[in-house]
Structure formats: structure tokens, C-alpha cells
């Protein structure tokens, strides 16, 4: 027998290529399955346990079914990197050119050139590197919003860096959304971490001629680090952009604790709320200008960006 286990708990067994026609192995598998101690997952792949398949076991089973050189890729690797909450219904696996096992329910097989260079040397199950995973998702992205979310999320969670993504993109001769990707890499290098922050830069700072601020710079001692979204040192002003995705209503107390730290230091706080829309002035603009007394662009009051994103823009004057 040839064992290729799912290491953390329940193993997954794969019949090796050299034993595909071994009668003894086939008889053993049939006996285990008939006794309901094992279960067939894919041709040549059995789970040595019964009951529901855990997500990681599903990935192992798909990789073992595809090919001995196969690796998990695209949305599957995105889930393994914890850049997505749920494993997709179909596990995506990449194989070298010329070796194309059939896709089946729950498994999507894709061919990939130079797969050995894209293979991550350490993690299990085998998977593509972070940079190749991000670029693969960018290639498949149907809209620019999807590209923005994938690239900024990977940098925000510190799975990769802007310089690594730029080097990986330069090594590819063909790449969709290249111009947008390089623009996002540049913005991520300047500290932009979320689509909401990018929206603020484009629709507030740049649109109204505001001076560029410092973004997501670490403050405080080790163990009590704070990362302010935007800080304008000249005006001693801090801007916090709190979208619903990262700041849901049931976690409002954490935002209140953060604001209490400002009050304890006898700093002035001005809190406003508004939905960001490129065509609609937000009330936070005039409020922030009145709080700072100085920060106002030549084009007039703030206009905040992106529809359907409700935020609170809080300005702390030091």
C-alpha cells in the first residue's frame, strides 16, 4: 500500500500509479469499502474514515486524484491562505501540460505551464505560491473590483508584499489587468490596505487636492501597536475609515474603546457618518474641515467615494 495522509487527522489513501492493476490492492480496497470502514471519494482515492469530508481532506483527495505533480491553485489556495472564508464547492487543481485527468463533480482540473516554478516548496497539501495564486485570481477576475479586492487583501493580511507581486507580474509575458495590478501594487507600497482606503485617496484626497497623508504607520510600543488609516502630521489630524466589512455593528464597542483612548489623552474628536458615493457630497467633509480648521482642498468640501459602503469618518485633532 501507498499512504499519502492528510497529516492533521484522518488520512486519505491513494492507490499509486504502479499499483493501478494490482489485484491484491483492489481486493483490499473493496473489502474496506464494503465493510464501511473506508469510503471512495474519487477514482483511485479513498478516505479511511466515514462521515462528512472535512474541507482540508477534500483538497487532499482532489490533489491525489489529479496527478502526482498536481497542486492546489486559484480559489482553493486562496482559501488555504485564509484569504477567503469558505472553500469553493469545486476544488481547483493545476497539473502540468499534457496530463489532463478529467474534471469531475467537486474537482476542477486546470493545466499550467512551468508548474514546478509555481509550486510552493513547503506547505501541504501541495499548492501554488502566494504570488502565483494572486496573479491566477487576477487573470480570472471578471471585474476590476474583484482585482482590487484580491490584491489588497493579500497585502493587508501580509501574505505577500508589493515588491514580490511586482516581480512576479514582470516575469509573466501575458497577464490580464496588468495596468491595474501595477497601480494597485504601487498603492499598496504606499500603505493603502483596503478598497475603502483606496476610494478615499482617489475620491477625496486626489479629487480635492488634499496633501497626501501617512497611511497605516505603526504607532505605540510593541504589544500595543496602533495603525491609523491616515495621519496628517502637519495638521495633527487622524482619519479613521470604518467600513461595515471590518467594523460590523456588533463590534462597535471596540471602536468606542479606540475613541476613548483619544479622549483620555485630551484630544479633540469629531465623529461623522455618511455613505460614500462619488457623486454625492458627504456631510463628513464639512465636519472634518470644521474640526481641523485647516484641512480643506481647493475644490471645496470633501466628496466621499463608493456606493453601498457605509462608513464613519472620525477625525482626531491632536
302 compared with 54, residue with greater pLDDT: 54
pTM to 2 decimal places: 0.75
Closest CA to 270 of 317, 235, 231, 229: 317
Kindly state the percentage of the chain with pLDDT values over 70: 68
Pairing assessment for the beta strands 91-95 and 12-14 based on DSSP bridges: unpaired
Those residues whose C-beta lies under 8 Å from the C-beta of residue 252, and which sit 6 or more positions away, are none
How high is the pLDDT of residue 210? 81
Q: pLDDT, tens digit, for every residue of 106-118? A: 999 998 888 989 9
Angle subtended by helix axes 162-170 and 144-156, to nearest 10: 130
Q: What share of the chain is helix, strand, coil (3-state, %, to 5)?
A: 40, 20, 40
Q: pLDDT, tens digit, for every residue of 1-22? A: 344 444 444 456 665 544 454 5
Cell readout for 109 is 482540473
E strand or H helix at 288: helix 283-292
Q: Where are the domains of the chain?
A: 12-128, 134-189, 195-218+227-317
In the block, cell 477625525 appears at: 315
Q: pLDDT, tens digit, for every residue of 189-212? A: 999 998 988 988 888 888 888 888
Which of 130-134, 180-184, 263-267, 269-273 is least confident? 269-273
- Split at pLDDT 50, 70, 90, the class of 256 is low
178 compared with 98, residue with greater pLDDT: 178
Q: What is the mean pLDDT of the chain?
A: 76
Amino acid at each position: 500500500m501507498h499512504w499519502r495522509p492528510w497529516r492533521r487527522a484522518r488520512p486519505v489513501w491513494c492507490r499509486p500509479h504502479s499499483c493501478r492493476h494490482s489485484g491484491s490492492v483492489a481486493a483490499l480496497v473493496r473489502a474496506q469499502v464494503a465493510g464501511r470502514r473506508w469510503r471512495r471519494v474519487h477514482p483511485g482515492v479513498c478516505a479511511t474514515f466515514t462521515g462528512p469530508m472535512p474541507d482540508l481532506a477534500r483538497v487532499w483527495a482532489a490533489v491525489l486524484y489529479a496527478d502526482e505533480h498536481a497542486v492546489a491553485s486559484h480559489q482553493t489556495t486562496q482559501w488555504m491562505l485564509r484569504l477567503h472564508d469558505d472553500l469553493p464547492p469545486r476544488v481547483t487543481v493545476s497539473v502540468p501540460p499534457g496530463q489532463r485527468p478529467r474534471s469531475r463533480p467537486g474537482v476542477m482540473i486546470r493545466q499550467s505551464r512551468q508548474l514546478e516554478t509555481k509550486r510552493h516548496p513547503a506547505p501541504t497539501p501541495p499548492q501554488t505560491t502566494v504570488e502565483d495564486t494572486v496573479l491566477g485570481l487576477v487573470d480570472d477576475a471578471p471585474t476590476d473590483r474583484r482585482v482590487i479586492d484580491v490584491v489588497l487583501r493579500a497585502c493587508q493580511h501580509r501574505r505577500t508584499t508589493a515588491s514580490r507581486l511586482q516581480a512576479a507580474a514582470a516575469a509573466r509575458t501575458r497577464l490580464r489587468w496588468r495596468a491595474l495590478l501595477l497601480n494597485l501594487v504601487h498603492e499598496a507600497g504606499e500603505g493603502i490596505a483596503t478598497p475603502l482606503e483606496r476610494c478615499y485617496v482617489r475620491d477625496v484626497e486626489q479629487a480635492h487636492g488634499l496633501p497626501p497623508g501617512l497611511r497605516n504607520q505603526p504607532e505605540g510600543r510593541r504589544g500595543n501597536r496602533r495603525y491609523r488609516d491616515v495621519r496628517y502630521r502637519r495638521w495633527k489630524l487622524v482619519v479613521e475609515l470604518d467600513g461595515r466589512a471590518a467594523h460590523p455593528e456588533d463590534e462597535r464597542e471596540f471602536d468606542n474603546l479606540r475613541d476613548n483612548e483619544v479622549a483620555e489623552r485630551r484630544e479633540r474628536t469629531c465623529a461623522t457618518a455618511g455613505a460614500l458615493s462619488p457623486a454625492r457630497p458627504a456631510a463628513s467633509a464639512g465636519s472634518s474641515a470644521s474640526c481641523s480648521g485647516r484641512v480643506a482642498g481647493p475644490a471645496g468640501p470633501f466628496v466621499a467615494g463608493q456606493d453601498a459602503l457605509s462608513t464613519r469618518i472620525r477625525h482626531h485633532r491632536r
